[in-house]
Amino acid sequence: MKLFIYLLFIYVTVYTVYYLSLVYSGLKSKKRKNRDLEQRRNNLCVVVYSHNNKATIENLVKQLKNQTYPKNNYTIQVILDNCTDESEILFQGDLDVTVMNIKNVDTIGKEQAFSILTEKYLPIKDLDAYVFLDAKYYVNQDFLEKINETLQDVDAITGATTLICNNELTLVDNIKYSYNQYKNNFILKSRAMLGLNNSINSDILAIKKNVIDSVNDLRIKTTEDELRLTMYLSELNYKCGFNNDVKVYLGINDYDLKIPSLTTRIGLFFKMLKNIKFSNIRHSELITSLIYPNCLTLALGFALLFKCALDSNWLNYYVIGGEIALFLIGFCASLLHSKIHSKEHLYLFLYPAYAFCRVVYNLPFLRFIRERILNTGKSVNIQKMNVHVNVFDGKKYYPCRLEIVSESGLSRVIFINKRKKYRTKNHLRVVDAIREISEKLESYGYTLLLCQCCKYFKSNVDGTVNQVKGFCEYKFANRTPGDILPTVLWNYCDAFEKMNVVSLLDAIASKQKDDSK
């Protein structure tokens, strides 16, 4: 028991020191660096993701067009992900906006859409950074100016979300509003001023292109994925910052607290524990922050310590009482710094109860019961196709099998050799899933014998998403000049000659170039 109490004392003491450091940092005024911004203009690609956000996306794009940032230094790319609200009509004939309209599939999500776009812009050398925005937001005129300024010091930026309250707020809305103000104006801002990393938010994220190119995998599907990506970037010594001046505005009804699950945080902590090093303090602190207590846990910890101090003579209650007093003084100072009104303090005090109820509500077994009773579980449409293929190592052919799986508009491929299997991640297109398999085999010295990997295969850019069809350009002995020999990605013949990578994007670019002539 004594060991547990001593460990608990160390735990809350370390967090108290950290919290008081935030208070001290937050109460300081940070001096702005004098910069010659005219010589440090980053070329930005502003990416707006929309899924049926017609009510807000038009206004957001107008605000982006009217930025104080030079128009020659940024472009606007709109991604319409399976929109059924006719959002594409808004940008017809708009030469200032490039639209990527994803149709005829299920909603692919932000992660897959951003991956397709970043792959498209991979060869572009004069692009410095991406700015990812959800279409539900509004921005100020100096939004890009503030991003460019912050990018001088960090590699990735998350902005502050300011909630718009038009109607009378419910109790839950008031709690969310107060906590959001406290988190932005004190916690995240103070961490940034201390030079600590903050978890990224894919709804409002600016990140340098070289960072994405080096990571090569933008996994941001869930809040937990965002946390894992932040950890990975921090491990690579990239700085993930926060700037309270990079503001976006959002209706409170569309706001959702992004809180990673407790199991994810604890599991990630033990996984990353071996990476704690004094040579990378920023990354080590970020790992430690995974197990920082919430306010309810901290209150229970202080209460237990104080009770043990009163009931025993081996723990000094003056020390415990003094630590509690210091923390409360720091908390009062943080309330002043958070700039929330006095009437909102009560709602902030209710946040621990709200957070506890939220955790209980989202427990897996309760969620399973709700889905069963309300029949809210998602129906999944899965289609599979088996293809027999050969793999060549330069000397011998090995018969194998590919299982092409289509699920909810996404595709993956399972490579099967005897009892061994390799599964790709989900892709929007079959061509990308097969490419992942072929590159994996190539790294082991094997060649996958498919039309897609053959130098004579030419993709047919027919407007479909999967792009599985193509043409064979090999000049067979009895082939009539000028005739068209159709094929698909997974076919194979004896005329196969290896090609390193078949790039669908190159085929699309070539077709667009031909059409423009």
Q: What is the pLDDT of residues 254-309, one digit of tens each?
A: 888 888 878 888 888 998 888 888 778 889 999 999 999 988 889 899 999 888 88
Can you give the pLDDT at residue 504?
42
Sheet (strand 240-251) strand order: 97-102, 74-81, 44-50, 129-134, 204-208, 156-164, 240-251, 138-139
**Burial readout 109-130 (b: 16 or more C-beta within 10 A, e: otherwise):** bbbbbbbbbbbebeeeeebbbb
Please check whether residue 200 lies inside any domain of the structure: yes
Please check whether residue 286 lies inside any domain of the structure: no
Please check whether residue 132 lies inside any domain of the structure: yes
Q: What is the pLDDT of residues 334-352, one digit of tens each?
A: 998 888 888 888 899 999 8
In this structure, the answer to whether residues 352 and 398 fall within a common structural domain is no
Please check whether residue 95 lies inside any domain of the structure: yes
486: confidence class by pLDDT, cuts 50, 70, 90: confident
Per the DSSP assignment, residues forming a β-bridge with 391 are: 398, 448
Look at the chain and report how many structural domains it folds into.
Answer: 3
Expressed as residue numbers, the domain containing 111 is: 43-257
**Secondary structure of 141-170 in HEC code, one letter for each residue:** CCHHHHHHHHCCCCCEEEEEEEEECCCCCC
In this structure, the answer to whether residues 110 and 239 fall within a common structural domain is yes
In this structure, the answer to whether residues 352 and 313 fall within a common structural domain is yes
Average pLDDT over residues 218-226: 82
User: For the whole model, what pTM was predicted?
Assistant: 0.73
In this structure, the answer to whether residues 128 and 69 fall within a common structural domain is yes
Please check whether residue 54 lies inside any domain of the structure: yes
Three-class DSSP category at 95: coil
Please check whether residue 422 lies inside any domain of the structure: yes
Q: Are 25 and 194 in contact (CB under 8 A)?
A: yes
371: confidence class by pLDDT, cuts 50, 70, 90: confident
In this structure, the answer to whether residues 79 and 157 fall within a common structural domain is yes
Q: Are 428 and 411 in contact (CB under 8 A)?
A: yes
Three-class DSSP category at 16: helix
Lookup: tokens for 255: 């706001």
Please check whether residue 265 lies inside any domain of the structure: no
- Would you call 382 exposed, middle or buried from its count of C-beta atoms within 10 A (0-12, 13-18, 19+)? exposed
In this structure, the answer to whether residues 119 and 198 fall within a common structural domain is yes
Q: Are 245 and 146 in contact (CB under 8 A)?
A: yes
In this structure, the answer to whether residues 343 and 420 fall within a common structural domain is no
22: confidence class by pLDDT, cuts 50, 70, 90: very high
In this structure, the answer to whether residues 390 and 439 fall within a common structural domain is yes
Nearest 5°: phi and psi at 235? -65, -30
The single residue listed with the structure tokens 């350009």 is 473
In this structure, the answer to whether residues 237 and 313 fall within a common structural domain is no
In this structure, the answer to whether residues 84 and 209 fall within a common structural domain is yes
Domain end among 206, 238, 257: 257
Please check whether residue 36 lies inside any domain of the structure: no
Average pLDDT over residues 225-254: 90
In this structure, the answer to whether residues 173 and 193 fall within a common structural domain is yes
In this structure, the answer to whether residues 234 and 313 fall within a common structural domain is no
Can you give the pLDDT at residue 509?
47
